[in-house]
């Protein structure tokens, strides 16, 4: 269900242009919007990183009580001065012909070499709404983690992805020690921590 709008939360697009088009696109927008005290704002200008909508899945094996995590180089983390290899969940950008579920099923095979059984929707979130249009639909997916591992990804897309199955207890420890710093992965693991008993009962 979409969030409820509060009084005077309306916005008008005044002008839009493409400020940059490369591997990604940046749009330059001019808006005016309602003010909580009444009336309208002046025209404000913002540049927005236009990424599209993503979907991600935390693969979970309830019999082995393991999650499957992936690790790869991330340019944004490098530029931010962080260690650029990060633990993450399987994810990708949704193509026009795909649903979020079909995307995570495809990416699970491409990025991790695993097949998803049932998937459970977790959240549909905006990642950095002040500057980026990207949202992410998050799932937990039922998998057999016994054969998960190795290096995967599409060489044509420059992917070099380490795949590792870890116990849920180890994943929680990694989370608590700051070894997992990817926001979508944090959300998925914390959701599983809250709902793990019911997920295991459902996937017995």
Which residues carry out catalysis?
157
Start-to-end Cα distance in the chain: 29
Q: What is the rounded CA–CA span in Å between residue 89 and residue 185?
A: 6
Q: Is the dihedral of CA 179, 185, 188, 192 positive or negative?
A: negative
Gyration radius (Cα) of the chain, Å: 19
- For residue 71, the 8-state DSSP code is E
Which among 99, 1, 24, 17 has a CA at the least distance from the CA of 54? Answer: 99
């Amino acid at each position: 269900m979409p969030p409820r709008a509060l009084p005077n939360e309306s916005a008008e697009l005044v002008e839009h242009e493409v400020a940059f088009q490369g591997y990604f696109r940046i749009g330059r927008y001019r808006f005016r919007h309602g003010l909580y005290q009444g009336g309208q704002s002046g025209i404000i200008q913002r540049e927005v990183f236009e990424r599209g909508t993503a979907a991600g899945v935390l693969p979970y094996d309830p019999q082995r009580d393991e999650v499957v995590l992936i690790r790869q180089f991330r340019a944004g983390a490098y530029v931010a001065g962080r260690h650029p290899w990060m633990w993450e969940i399987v994810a990708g950008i949704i193509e026009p012909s795909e649903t979020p579920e079909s995307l995570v099923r495809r990416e699970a095979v491409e990025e991790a070499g695993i097949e998803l059984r049932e998937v459970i929707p977790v959240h549909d979130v905006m990642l950095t709404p002040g500057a980026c249009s990207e949202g992410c639909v998050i799932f937990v997916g039922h998998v057999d983690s016994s054969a998960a591992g190795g290096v995967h990804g599409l060489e044509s897309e420059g992917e070099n992805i380490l795949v590792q199955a870890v116990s849920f207890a180890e994943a929680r420890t990694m989370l608590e020690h700051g070894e997992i710093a990817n926001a979508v992965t944090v959300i998925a693991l914390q959701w599983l921590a809250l709902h793990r008993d019911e997920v295991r009962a459902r996937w017995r």
